[in-house]
Every structure is written in C-alpha cells, then in structure tokens.
C-alpha cells in the first residue's frame, strides 16, 4: 500500500528495538498520524494541559458595617475591657509618649 524508504524503515526498526517497542507497524502509524496532525493543524499545546484546573489563592478585604442596637451594652463591654487590660494600655501610652518626646525630625533637631 505505502512504500517507505528502506533506510528510513531500518532506522525506525532500530529505534523500536532500542526502545523496546514491540509493534513496529503500530508505531509507524502513530508517527504518520502525529506528523499529519502537525502538518494539518500546526504545532500547538495539548488541549488537556490547558484545561487543567489551577488553584489560585485570592485575598480579599471584606468590610462589613455592624449595627449595634444597644449602645449601653457596648459601653459596658468597652469599660470592662479597659479595666481588664488597664496595665497594658498604660504601658502602651508610656511607650507612645516617650517615642513622641524623643523623636527628632530628619535634620536631627
């Protein structure tokens, strides 16, 4: 049906022997099919590799407005937190005040 150059056939057969390919005719048909598809459609990436799902990490900042009906509860909770963490707040205020007093501008003044 199709005549293949003898040297080319021998080279393909040798390749098949070296790479332990048992069905030489099937391998030749695959080569012809692949070569024809390249000729017909051009060289392009495999569609399977393009369709794979990729995981992308997206970080979003979500701002929500929270409405509080009872402001007395909030005031009480804030007062409780201030009492509970009074020492830490005082320490932070001291650090802040010392930083402000000891700060110099870019000219060292």
What's the pLDDT tens digit per position in 51-99? 667 778 888 888 888 776 666 777 888 888 888 888 888 887 777 776 6
Calculate Rg over the CA atoms of the chain.
Answer: 38
What are the angstrom distances between the C-alpha of 96 and each of 32, 57, 91?
Answer: 78, 37, 9
- The closest alpha carbon to 72, from 80, 62, 64, belongs to 80
Distance in angstroms (rounded) separating the CA atoms of residues 86 and 79 = 10
pLDDT, average across residues 19-36: 91
């Amino acid at each position: 049906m199709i005549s293949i150059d003898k040297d080319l056939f021998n080279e393909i057969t040798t390749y098949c022997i070296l790479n332990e390919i048992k069905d030489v005719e099937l391998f030749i048909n695959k080569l012809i099919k692949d070569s024809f598809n390249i000729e017909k459609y051009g060289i392009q990436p495999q569609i399977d590799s393009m369709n794979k799902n990729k995981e992308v990490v997206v970080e979003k900042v979500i701002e929500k407005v929270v409405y509080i009906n009872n402001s007395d509860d909030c005031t009480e909770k804030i007062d409780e937190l201030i009492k509970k963490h009074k020492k830490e707040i005082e320490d932070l205020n001291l650090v802040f005040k010392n930083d402000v007093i000891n700060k110099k501008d870019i000219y060292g003044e």
